[in-house]
Structure 1
């Protein structure tokens, strides 16, 4: 019964929308064909947007990989001081919505920057903004997705046995040789996975290319899809379905290539995971710590200071002084604008429901994928692969698929989900299932099968074994997955950008609409409140995490 429910869930919320999307985008006269994509590529705007998407995703993913791996190696393998603090601060940009990141950096470096104006360093009025265009989009995509690479590589470092590294050190290998000959080759599959994750995340990013690319005439596919969907032409849905199918195919190809290369580069390891190495930095420790402080200052402190500086001035463009400082913008968004409070409520409800439902489904699916029963295990592995593929597909593509699926009222029930908060919740369930599943699957694979066998021999049925044996052991991982889903969904804009309507606004859509409508100070105030709420939530979770089992709070070492 449980397995059937999971299959129905995957069929209704994953397979059916994506199948309908591919059918709409890859069918001509009822026959599967690539002609719609070929015809779309004849358009100069589509080919330019496709190239811009691939270029920005590929280059930004390389930059994210370089910085993320370096930070992960410092935190995971060396005697760097303040690791927990640095880990917390490095992950904050990942929890900040991409469009908030774009707004913060736009206000940090532009001629109207209140912070630079207060310091007398603002560029002259009329100077082109340095972030508008290709370079700005690539740079901020790298900043946004570097923490993803950091998390993947840091998790891989924690699972590596240290016998080979110890043997190399005994044989006289220095840190550089140890890194190049032992550690990095063992990390090769994780490095490929981290790059693929950063690539597909950048490929589907909407907020940064929309706010920085449109003014600089650097249009990517997600932005082009949003523009086509806003045109309301007679062939609008068909056009965006073709572009969305193109993005879905690119993401699937990238993941398939990554899995193939990872399989070829995987090394068989002997022995269980052990505590990681602690390489002495010696006199270089102060330099490494200074580098980490500089990284946090550049990626977090500077844009956030500028964001709050903009939120505190009377009018955008004025320098931040005692005469121009005001709390009116915060008062406006928190007390006078009903849409902002409604957006916070909608985001909390949608993200909370998605986190709770996905935590339960992920726990059950991870269990089914690890059982010895061949049929159940094959179905579980298949559903896990489907969740991974769905996560790799850009979120804006999922939004289009849900529009196509739920545009009409549901059959039999005759209830319409379109233009309601429920369609956003369902889209979250599809888009973020893999986020909840990853930590639970990893924890489930580490369980000794003898525990389940002993309970079975004692006469415990499947439900009793789940409640008394399995759930207590994987509860920390389940909570970790739920926390990641909530934080990801709470601040997202790409999924809800195409699904929201009046009354179902989310935090991300309200901030974007403020900025797009020219209300820069209100957008900054709303973004500032969002950042504060996110950081406060992370701090509370970190404090509670000290009393909880290891693994519940994802960023705690």
Structure 2
């Protein structure tokens, strides 16, 4: 008799999650695919084939695949190397290096592009102040293929580093210790034991870096357009800006092509991960601490150089541009001015609106997705076959929507919510709500990953004991499950907030006057030629992001382990 309320509560939870997935994940993507793969009311691949026969689309497709593959490979090599040094050696200052290396991942891609163009170009205030600026008229070294690939790698490297570091922490030490006892030195230990065990995680890291670069809009737009290196997201944005009679149909076809490409990448990654998976025995333990010996000073110097190149140099150039009256003027005591900061902070109303909108949208998405992620993870870890399969299906769907580029998500939501909501007569198009809902679709996997990992580690005997004692679904959920996985849910919420707070790809096509986000405001300044104002607002955004991460890091010292995802 006590089983009925449990099934009822679990059934209602499952029904609510399925409604969420159907409304915000399945329906928009289905409408997108229907629009892109339909002709005269019948399903056909002809629109996509027609697009692939035109000259711009195959070139943009190749540029997207090339830049994503090469930048992900470069990010994998650097990110894995850095993770091995931080995770397995006696490097000093690990927490500081980890914090600094993860900052570029939290900085919007278009801000990264702006910072680097201002760091190395002929008009660089920083190089001008040092007397190292190239002669006027010199082509910018970052415009084009090489610059796009290099900065995409810089943007993706911290993601690879974080995934690999987490995987290192989850490995039991028995096999590594056995290899060391048998006389295996560090290179052989890495090549024969650690890296093979990390193979599924490395595949996942490469796939994440690949799809992140594939859907990146800010870096290819700011560096690729001047260098005539157009990727598919940029081509979609250009087509959407054309306002022609067939604009929406053309954009839907290109978006469907990108969606299918992202789904294929996820499917290949999951297949390879299953093939390379190795069964591990024993719980996760503290990782190894290999002694660097006489190589430690050189290793620490190399890590410091990496931080200086990937973070300090572009940020110095960004602030240098924000502190001069006009772009191209060398920074000196005579040219130093704070007028750009005063303009964006006190005179431009769009700045306050953008920060408020981004804070509200990111906070709402983080809170909602942390709750939905916890409920989904509970289903995945349950013993009932039906709910568990439904939870796994939701997890796979979340992985797919995360892999689909943000611009494609935007197009799907435009197609879905362009008309008023059926039965309500209320339109959310051109409101902040459509951006929040798009965030729920795009970033569900970010909140789900940490809470699922934590949920699968819980002893099912706790739930069984509560069930025997007569506790229903809701009571077991609130008194046992949620308190235990709260740190992981908080970690997911923090990651969602930081990801959504500075993004531009999802909101680039969904914003309107009054609903600007931080990312769109910065991009609009730069696109409109107001380079110093763009630099000033980008600098404020970087400071706000770093301060927020620092506060979370300090707070993490008093919180349970795992709440702040980057803390060692």
Deviation, 1:29, is: 2.3
- Which runs of structure 1 show a deviation greater than 4 angstroms over 4 or more consecutive aligned residues? none
Whether 2:381 is the aligned partner of 1:370: answer yes
Quick one: distance in 2 between partners of 1:473 and 1:124?
61
Aligned to 1:135: 146
State the TM-score, normalized to the length of structure 2.
0.98
Quick one: distance in 2 between partners of 1:254 and 1:3?
28
Whether 2:275 is the aligned partner of 1:264: answer yes
1:302 to 308, 313, 316: 313
Whether 2:2 is the aligned partner of 1:25: answer no
Deviation, 1:460, is: 1.0
Deviation, 1:273, is: 1.1
Aligned to 1:455: 466
Match runs of 1:496-507 below 5 Å: 496-507=507-518
Quick one: distance in 1 between partners of 2:245 and 2:40?
18
Partner SS state of residue 163, structure 2: helix
Which stretch has the larger CA shift, 463-472 or 532-541? 463-472
Quick one: distance in 1 between partners of 2:181 and 2:363?
51
CA distances 1:21-42 after superposition (whole Å, capped 9, x unpaired): 0000011222222111110001
Whether 2:227 is the aligned partner of 1:216: answer yes
Partner SS state of residue 70, structure 2: helix
Partner SS state of residue 11, structure 1: helix
Match runs of 1:47-126 below 5 Å: 47-126=58-137
Quick one: distance in 1 between partners of 2:177 and 2:231?
47
Whether 2:334 is the aligned partner of 1:331: answer no
Partner SS state of residue 186, structure 1: helix
Aligned to 2:499: 488
Aligned to 2:241: 230
Partner SS state of residue 200, structure 1: helix
Quick one: distance in 1 between partners of 2:280 and 2:395?
24
Aligned to 2:455: 444
Quick one: distance in 1 between partners of 2:45 and 2:289?
53
Partner SS state of residue 187, structure 1: helix
Aligned to 2:3: none
Whether 2:158 is the aligned partner of 1:147: answer yes
2:256 to 245, 256, 268: 245
Partner SS state of residue 90, structure 1: helix
Deviation, 1:459, is: 1.3
Whether 2:546 is the aligned partner of 1:553: answer no
Aligned to 2:538: 527
Quick one: distance in 1 between partners of 2:134 and 2:124?
9
Partner SS state of residue 270, structure 1: coil
Aligned to 2:352: 341
Aligned to 2:6: none
Quick one: distance in 2 between partners of 1:473 and 1:32?
48
Match runs of 1:184-199 below 5 Å: 184-199=195-210
Quick one: distance in 2 between partners of 1:457 and 1:411?
45
Deviation, 1:457, is: 1.2
Quick one: distance in 1 between partners of 2:173 and 2:402?
32
Partner SS state of residue 218, structure 1: coil
Aligned to 2:194: 183
Quick one: distance in 2 between partners of 1:175 and 1:2?
49
Quick one: distance in 2 between partners of 1:104 and 1:270?
46
Whether 2:159 is the aligned partner of 1:170: answer no
CA distances 1:483-511 after superposition (whole Å, capped 9, x unpaired): 00000000000000000000100000000
Partner SS state of residue 18, structure 2: helix
Partner SS state of residue 276, structure 1: coil
Quick one: distance in 2 between partners of 1:255 and 1:384?
12
CA RMSD in angstroms, aligned pairs only: 0.6
Deviation, 1:408, is: 0.8
> 5+ residue gaps in structure 2?
1-11
Whether 2:328 is the aligned partner of 1:317: answer yes
CA distances 1:327-385 after superposition (whole Å, capped 9, x unpaired): 00000000000011100000000000000000110011100111001111111111111
CA distances 1:462-493 after superposition (whole Å, capped 9, x unpaired): 11111111111100000000000000000000
